[in-house]
Amino acid sequence: MRMHNVRRALLVLLPLLLLLATGRAALAADPADLQLQAPQEATLGEQVTVTAVLRDASGTPIVGAPVILWSPAQFLSTGGAVQLGKVATNARGEATFRYEARTEESVVLNASFSGDSRYSAAQASAQMAVQGSAQLYQSSAGVRVPGVSVWLLVGLLGGVWGTYLAVMVLLTLIAREGAKAPSRAGGQHG
């Protein structure tokens, strides 16, 4: 129950906040323009570069502004935004993110700049189709040493038990010899 509420609250709150920020900035600050460049397609697990470019109204890059990359997601019963990174823009106004697609089918990527004292907030979004369904995470433990397997144990035991068996065969030979020999050999033992 609580998680559902939280998710709903987040879904309502997030756009509201953005709206509020934009509205306020429109009154007081210069408008900022954010553009998100992302590949249209990617394979599952592929590292792609996503670039957000932040400029002012005149097309001049805004330098050193923090840009957040996020994506809406759903896991178990929790839904909401997953923050994928936070990068400050460089001299060309670019914030570059490395993104690895882990979710199948399509991903919506959002970049947002929350505005500062001079510029208003800005947002951009891009859609990326993700292909493939291969397992990406594989846990590995131990190491396979060639030759070390259950057969080694079988061979070892087989050797020992084979000798036991051979000794048993010797015993039967002794028994046969005893049957052939004249019985009561006059106490010649040892």
| Residue type for position 132 | G
Residue 97 burial (C-beta neighbours within 10 Å; 0-12, 13-18, 19+): buried
Cβ nearer to another protein, comparing 19 with 165: 165
Cβ nearer to another protein, comparing 10 with 18: 10
Of 85, 96, 114, 126, the one binding another protein (CB under 8 A) is: 85
Contact 49, 98 (CB under 8 A): yes
Four-residue CA torsion sign, 98, 104, 106, 111: negative
The footprint of another protein on this chain (CB under 8 A) covers a number of residues equal to 62
Asked if 155 is part of the footprint of another protein (rule: CB under 8 A), the reply reads no
Asked if 190 is part of the footprint of another protein (rule: CB under 8 A), the reply reads yes
Considering only residues 9 to 48 of the shown chain, the ones binding another protein according to CB under 8 A are none
In angstroms, the CA 171 to CA 3 distance is 78
Token pair listed for 147: 């030759």
In angstroms, the CA 54 to CA 39 distance is 18
CA angle 80, 84, 103 (to 5 degrees): 70
x/- letters, 104..143, toward another protein (CB under 8 A):
x----------------------------xxxxx-xxxx-
Chain residues binding another protein by CB under 8 A are 2-3, 6, 73, 75-85, 100, 102-104, 133-137, 139-142, 149-150, 153-154, 157-158, 160-161, 163-179, 181-185, 187-190
